[in-house]
Structure 1
Amino acid sequence: MCCETKLWLVVLLFLSTTYMQHCVLGEPQVPCLFILGDSLSDSGNNNNLATDAKVNYLPYGIDFPAGPTGRFTNGRTSADIITQLLGFDNFIPPHANTSGSNILLGVNYASGAAGIRKETGTHLGKDISLGLQVQNHKGIVSQIGKKLGNKAQQHLNKCLYYVNIGSNDYLNNYFLPEHYPSNSKLSPDRYAEILVQEYSTHLKALHESGARKFALIGLNLLGCVPHEIVIHGKSGSICVDDENKAALIFNDKLKALVDRFNNEFPDSKFIFINSAVISDQSKSNDWSLADIVVCCRVGSNGQCIPKEEPCLDRNLHAFFDEFHPSEFINQLTARGAYNAPIPSYAYPMDISNLVKL
């Protein structure tokens, strides 16, 4: 099949008209938020790592109040916007910079290039895999225990755990055969099965540490990422079909895991956010990646060239660089995850309902 790169833009534009006026007032809806993931959520954990996957320089952060903090976009990430929608006054600090921070409100462990598998993204240098992020969280839980004593578990039980990871296990592992052997050894179905099995092990570890509310974010259509279109020699309106199919296989297995864990752990709630939803209306929509090129001039790694001036009309660009969405798209996806207006976008509920439990 041929996937047009109008992708989820119609869905997202619909979300924008519905939720752009939404705001949250009062106390945060949960006492704390813990964020695990990759560059889509990283807020500075990679800044001091020996890796090419770090962006603590302009034009990244050009629209962020604090400038280039290590966020892989022009402004806020989806995790940042979820944080605001939940009513937090400040963004959740990166684990690398928790000194002096109020860890009782949460920590961001996400790391650019990281994946579920340990080796994912390591051709770029060091990263913090999901397993290492969970280990870092155990250290934070220990500190929270010292602060709250026997009330620590009750506190953690009410927190939201936002997990958005897996893209790099494909883009920086499975579909990068010059660096990793996984593609030659495993079918897409078997690879997704192994990923979700390992993912489930880490979720169980979080549950053992007190986590009870989980928002698991599915993969976007990876074959519609501009870098993948470019390296496969596709036209601007055609996605890479094999990569999209692989992402959907992973999403199906992750959704099945949500069902299984909701039965297996009746004291907890797991939800799945379907990032790969495509509206049928997209076929008649005028927006496509052929019309919306990336916003900054990129180097061979697909990231913005340091100190190069980005585009001026950043709200009209789906992607800031060749991998990462612009803040405008992050706003729309975050709002859709928080309060989903489209059936099957969130399963079995959206974040706004999850946090009420």
Structure 2
Amino acid sequence: MAFLDHERAWRVASVLFLVSLWPSSVLGAPQVPCYFIFGDSLADAGNNNNLLALAKSNYPPYGVDFPDGFTGRFTNGPTSVDIIAQLLGFAKYIPPFATARGNDILQGVNYASGAAGIRSDSGQQQGERISLDRQLGNHLITVSHVREILGGNVSAYLNTCIYTVGMGSNDYINNYFMPDIYPTSRIYTPEQYADVLIKQYRQQLKTLYLYGARKVAVIGLGLLGCIPAEISRFGTNGSACVDKINNAAILFNNQLQPLVNEFNSNLSDAKFTYINSFAISTTGPGTEGLISNATCCPVHKELGTCVPFETPCSNRTMYVFFDAFHPTTTVNLGFAARAYNALLPSDASPYDIRNLAMI
């Protein structure tokens, strides 16, 4: 118990420190001029709000601990990218593409969309969502607006910004592991599917590079097999999590890190880095002692999202999952802290986001 008490004390101290930063005023300028965010529901800040989508969170109890209330973030407070933005020195939240206007875009835009994937068909049973290809198209629109505001060649500006890309979860949990809806698991072995995804992801990340991105943090897949909705759907056969899903995520991650190294070797001025979500979740101070076998909010059995207006748990800092898919802000704080400033060498390679910003 002493070990768990030590872990809990470290975690609480870390959370209190980070909360003390958020959303207090930031002294001086941000470490980079802008921060652009690509991703899925782990990073969505409201892009799905006006879509004909089942993947929505613009209602209570989501946002119960967020200054602006329920905004379309799939958690109780800030997301991990919100916290990374704060650690980078931004005094305001990076606005979602759906509402970003005027000079606000000069500090960055969040394109993330719940249920979105690398593949355009991933998440289709959830209704409308903004796939990575479409997010890249939206970014091109932003780049044109930045050019209108700043005038002339904006490459020097965009080259110094931070970009985070966290995709792939829905290509598994809302595609490959839904054989009743998607044919992919009958067409590809897990090894072949990882190959197919990485091939498409390579082209998408290269497109982002061609649009001016140079400092890119690519976020790997986490413990998808430990998500409550997946455990409920598949069972664990005596394991703590759904091993076949975690093993598939490992196959994807094992190709993603070499892809980052490939870009750094072959693309001029590229500074890509790999954020190892799987390692962050399984090494060092993590979620030991937190409640991981229950959700903080009552959830829809079919959707896994919070039932609207139901009361969430009161001890939210002690839960891993807010709903059946998404972590609480406590977990987001721990992940963001280690992505920004690596605690262990395995957290990020070749550098963490703090060092990426300084390059």
What is the deviation of 1:288? 5.8
Q: What residue is the counterpart of 2:67 in the other structure?
A: 65
What is the deviation of 1:16? 5.9
- Cα-to-partner distance string for 1:263-292 (whole Å, 9 max, x where unaligned): 0113110000110115467899555624xx
CA distance in 2, matches of 1:203, 1:11: 37
SS at match of 1:96: coil
CA contact (8 A) 1:36 1:133 kept: yes
Equivalent residue for 1:201, pick from 189, 200, 203: 203
SS at match of 2:36: strand
**1:109 maps to 2:105:** no
Amino acid at match of 2:204: H
SS at match of 2:44: coil
**1:21 maps to 2:52:** no
Q: What residue is the counterpart of 1:262 in the other structure?
A: 264
Equivalent residue for 1:223, pick from 222, 225, 228: 225
- The change in CA–CA distance for 1:57 and 1:206 in structure 2 (over 3 A counts) is same
- Of the structure 1 ranges 281-290 and 307-316, higher mean CA displacement relative to structure 2 is found in 281-290
- Of the structure 1 ranges 227-236 and 16-25, higher mean CA displacement relative to structure 2 is found in 16-25
Q: What residue is the counterpart of 2:241 in the other structure?
A: 239
Amino acid at match of 2:168: G
- Cα-to-partner distance string for 1:324-350 (whole Å, 9 max, x where unaligned): 000110011001100011121111110
CA distance in 2, matches of 1:283, 1:134: 33
CA contact (8 A) 2:218 2:273 kept: yes
CA distance in 1, matches of 2:205, 2:217: 11
Q: After the TM superposition, which residues 47-126 of structure 1 pair with which residues of structure 2 at under 5 Å, given as runs?
A: 47-100=49-102, 102-126=104-128
Q: What residue is the counterpart of 2:296 in the other structure?
A: 295
CA distance in 1, matches of 2:288, 2:79: 26
SS at match of 2:312: coil
**1:348 maps to 2:350:** yes
Q: What residue is the counterpart of 1:4 in the other structure?
A: none
Q: What residue is the counterpart of 1:321 in the other structure?
A: 323
CA contact (8 A) 1:215 1:271 kept: yes
Q: Count residues in correspondence.
A: 346
What is the deviation of 1:99? 2.7
Higher RCO (CA-CA < 8 Å; seq separation 6+): 1
CA distance in 2, matches of 1:295, 1:55: 15
Identity of aligned residues (%): 50
SS at match of 1:53: coil
Normalising to structure 2: TM-score of the pair? 0.91
CA contact (8 A) 2:118 2:133 kept: yes
CA contact (8 A) 2:11 2:285 kept: no
- Cα-to-partner distance string for 1:25-60 (whole Å, 9 max, x where unaligned): 421000000000000000000001011011100000
- Cα-to-partner distance string for 1:294-349 (whole Å, 9 max, x where unaligned): 10000121100000000000000000000000011001100110001112111111
CA contact (8 A) 2:40 2:116 kept: yes
CA contact (8 A) 1:12 1:333 kept: no
- Of the structure 1 ranges 234-243 and 279-288, higher mean CA displacement relative to structure 2 is found in 279-288
Normalising to structure 1: TM-score of the pair? 0.92
Q: What residue is the counterpart of 2:3 in the other structure?
A: none
**1:271 maps to 2:270:** no
CA distance in 2, matches of 1:288, 1:225: 13
CA contact (8 A) 2:298 2:312 kept: yes
What is the deviation of 1:178? 1.0
Amino acid at match of 1:122: Q
SS at match of 1:302: coil
CA distance in 2, matches of 1:164, 1:318: 19
CA contact (8 A) 1:160 1:214 kept: yes
Report the RMSD for the aligned CA atoms in angstroms: 2.2
CA distance in 2, matches of 1:314, 1:244: 26
What is the deviation of 1:88? 0.3
CA distance in 2, matches of 1:294, 1:29: 36
CA distance in 1, matches of 2:15, 2:231: 31
CA distance in 2, matches of 1:185, 1:93: 39
SS at match of 2:320: coil
- The change in CA–CA distance for 1:331 and 1:13 in structure 2 (over 3 A counts) is farther
